[in-house]
């Protein structure tokens, strides 16, 4: 599935803007135009836009609706592309069901065969999470129980686009690169027939033209975090054309290291959240750019898309900025804290969805050089007997889909996890001195080094710390430090970093979190999770300066 782009064969119409919106019952079908709806922005979550508590916290279905007209041409096929709606949804055109979405973080792309002069597009979204959705949640007495620590934002979160293609069009392009000493072999896998393949360098100069789908580039400039060099491939047939940027790079996980272009990399960065004021999870170019500017400013080289795939726009920016991405499927809330893997809970149906989302994630992100690893879950109950078979199948699907390293982010300890040997790199989330022995920083180093050592001894894989952090209220100071103060956050992060520096086989540190983010209400959540190194409006807390100094040198 190709990201919508316009060119001489393809038109593009953006349907973002102000739509109609209302909460609806389970049986609702948009037979007629919704005259009783109110106005809503797309893309955005509705939760932090509305003023009614009832609507904000609505559990169930909502309707989004808009109308549009196009100059329809007979020699074109029209397609609807919705970047993401959270979570499941049904899509109707002029009252007729035309497509549906199975998950809140993946695009829907469908042909529009019955366009009229004026069209009504209705999207009915269901925000409920169960054991058969990802993230996993539960409905108890009509109330939504959220298993994870971020707000269940709902809405049309990414761009809505109608695009046209010729009748005979290119459906997909996969660019595989193999790096050798002084050349790179490029193989293009596509359904395009009799195509001309042209590669352009960054300045638009032609590097190679080929009638074969496999060819070589001599002395390629490799993509890395210092010089995120991108080429452009143009595939052109008699009837269609598509241009895709790509980078040439090699990623490999060994027993001790993660290698980018044969050199070990140390991951410096964050677990992030797609979360900003008013927009919620709505994709926004300004917020995206600000995030990447801050990542570069602080000296980060990588992020994890915790705990779900981010927008395609973010993935393209990661390519441009040279930020490596650990690309995570929305497998979160799979409870290390309570029984999860059973016939009644996370069962075969959940597993099939999980596998399908792994497949779709790789299919979506396969041409992004920034993606260096896929993460199959965050903090699942991997100590449970059934977890082994469950993840063996999920990881098997990942292996069939990609050659990149696979990781799982563990809360379970090395002693009890049953899946560590299945992946290439172990990610661990650890909050010594915060959730355990709160405020006592003397425990951090020993416990962290011991835990990393245990994973190394048990699995012989590189380990990276995917989360560690302390909630911090900006402007709150304490000398000597106390928890929640800015001084505490610096000391906490410093203690952890000293542990990483002396732990053998530790290949990186991702602070939790890049910025403060919204969660459900809770006694330990004062306006959300405050572990951000940046505030929610993207200003640095004091710890940001400490990290900048460390990471610029490291
Ligand atoms: C970790 C979770 C993350 C939470 C974090 C926290 O992976 O989603 O936000 O804890 O409690 O266990 O801050």
Respond yes or no: is residue 379 known to be catalytic.
yes
Q: Is 384 in the pocket of ligand 1 (CB under 6 A)?
A: no
Q: Confirm or reject: Cβ of 429 under 6 Å from ligand 1.
A: yes
How far does the centroid of ligand 1 lie from the alpha carbon of residue 149, in Å? Answer: 6
Q: DSSP assignment of 131-195, as one string?
A: TTSSS-EEEETTEEEE-SSS----EE-S-EEEEEEESS----EEEEEEE-SSEEEEEEEE--SS-
**Which residue is listed with tokens 């540190």?**
509
Per-residue pLDDT tens for 394-428?
A: 999 999 999 999 999 999 999 999 999 999 999 99
Atom 11 of ligand 1, nearest CA residue: 149
pLDDT of residue 336: 65
Torsions phi, psi for 145 (to 5 deg): -100, 120
Please tell me if the CB atom of residue 509 comes closer than 6 angstroms to any atom of ligand 1: no
Residue 338 confidence class, pLDDT cut points 50, 70, 90:
confident
Which residue's alpha carbon is nearest to atom 5 within ligand 1? 149
Among candidate residues 379, 384, 410, 509, the one labeled active-site is: 379
CB 149 near ligand 1, within 6 Å: yes
- Strands 231-236, 196-200: pairing kind: antiparallel
CA distance 48 to 44: 9
pLDDT at 545 over 90: yes
**Is pLDDT of 7 > 70?**
yes
pLDDT digits (tens, 9 = 90+) for 186-219: 999 999 999 999 999 999 999 999 999 999 999 9
Kindly give the distance from the C-alpha atom of residue 336 to the centroid of ligand 1, in angstroms, as a whole number: 12
Which residue from 381, 434, 467 has its CB within 8 A of the most atoms of ligand 1, so it is best to mutate?
467
Tell which one of 529, 531, 533 to mutate to probe ligand 1, the residue whose CB is within 8 A of the most ligand atoms: 529
| pLDDT-above-70 percentage for the chain | 100
Q: Is 512 in the pocket of ligand 1 (CB under 6 A)?
A: yes
Q: How far is the CA of 346 from the centre of ligand 1 (A)?
A: 20
Residue 1: pLDDT band with limits 50, 70, 90: confident
Kindly give the distance from the C-alpha atom of residue 62 to the centroid of ligand 1, in angstroms, as a whole number: 28
Angle at 247 between CA 245 and CA 249, to 5 degrees: 165
Pocket test for ligand 1, best of 468, 471, 512 (most atoms within 8 A of CB): 512
Is 241 a residue whose pLDDT tops 90?
Answer: yes
Ligand 1, atom 12, lies closest to the CA of: 429
- Summarised one tens digit per residue, pLDDT across range 96-139 is 999 999 999 999 999 999 999 999 999 999 999 999 999 999 99
Centre of ligand 1 to C-alpha 512, Å, is 8
- What is the Cα–Cα distance from 146 to 134, expressed in whole angstroms? 11
The model's confidence at residue 335, banded by pLDDT at 50, 70 and 90, is confident
């Amino acid at each position: 599935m190709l990201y919508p782009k316009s060119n001489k064969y393809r038109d593009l119409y953006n349907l973002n803007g102000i739509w109609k919106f209302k909460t609806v019952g389970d049986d609702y079908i948009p037979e007629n135009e919704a005259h009783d709806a109110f106005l809503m922005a797309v893309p955005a979550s509705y939760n932090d836009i509305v003023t009614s508590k009832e609507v904000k916290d609505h559990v169930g279905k909502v309707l989004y609706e808009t109308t549009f007209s196009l100059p329809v041409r007979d020699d074109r096929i029209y397609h609807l592309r919705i970047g993401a709606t959270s979570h499941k949804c049904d899509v109707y055109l002029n009252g007729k069901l035309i497509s549906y979405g199975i998950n809140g973080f993946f695009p829907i792309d469908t042909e529009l065969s019955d366009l009229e002069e004026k069209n009504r597009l209705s999207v009915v979204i269901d925000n409920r999470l169960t054991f058969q959705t990802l993230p996993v949640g539960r409905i108890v007495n009509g109330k939504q129980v959220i298993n994870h620590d971020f707000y269940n934002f709902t809405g049309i979160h990414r761009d809505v686009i109608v695009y046209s293609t010729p009748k005979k069009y290119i459906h997909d392009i996969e660019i595989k690169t193999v790096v050798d000493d002084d050349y790179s072999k490029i193989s293009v896998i596509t359904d395009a027939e009799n195509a001309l393949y042209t590669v352009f360098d960054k300045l638009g100069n032609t590097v190679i033209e080929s009638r074969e789908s496999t060819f070589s580039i001599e002395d390629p400039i490799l993509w890395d975090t210092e010089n995120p060099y991108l080429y452009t491939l143009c595939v052109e047939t008699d009837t269609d054309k598509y241009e895709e940027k790509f980078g040439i790079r090699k990623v490999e996980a060994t027993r001790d290291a993660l290698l980018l272009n044969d050199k070990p990399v140390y991951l410096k960065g964050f677990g992030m959240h797609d979360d900003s004021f008013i927009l919620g999870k709505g994709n926004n170019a300004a917020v995206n750019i600000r995030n990447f500017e801050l990542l570069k400013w602080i000296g980060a080289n990588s992020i994890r898309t915790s705990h779900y795939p981010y927008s395609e726009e973010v993935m393209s920016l990661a390519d441009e900025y040279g930020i490596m991405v650990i690309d995570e499927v929305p497998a979160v809330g799979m409870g290390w804290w309570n029984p999860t893997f059973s016939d009644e809970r996370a069962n075969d149906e959940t597993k099939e969805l999980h596998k399908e989302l792994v497949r779709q994630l790789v299919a979506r992100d396969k041409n992004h050089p920034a993606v260096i690893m896929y993460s199959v879950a965050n903090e699942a109950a991997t100590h449970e007997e059934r977890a082994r078979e469950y993840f063996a199948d999920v990881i098997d699907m990942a292996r069939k889909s990609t050659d990149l390293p696979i990781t799982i982010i563990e809360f379970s300890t090395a002693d009890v996890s049953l899946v560590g040997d299945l992946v290439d790199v172990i990610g661990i989330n650890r909050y010594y001195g915060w959730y355990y022995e709160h405020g006592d920083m003397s425990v951090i180093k020993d416990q962290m080094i011991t835990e990393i050592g245990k994973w190394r001894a048990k699995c012989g894989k590189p380990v990276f710390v995917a989360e560690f952090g302390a909630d911090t209220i900006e402007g709150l100071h304490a000398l000597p430090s106390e928890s929640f103060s800015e001084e505490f956050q610096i000391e906490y992060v410093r203690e952890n970093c000293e542990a990483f520096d002396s732990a053998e086989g530790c290949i990186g540190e991702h602070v939790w979190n890049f910025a403060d983010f919204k969660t459900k209400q809770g006694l330990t959540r004062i306006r959300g999770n405050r572990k951000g190194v940046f505030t929610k409006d993207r200003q640095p807390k004091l710890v940001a300066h400490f990290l900048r100094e460390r990471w610029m040198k490291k």
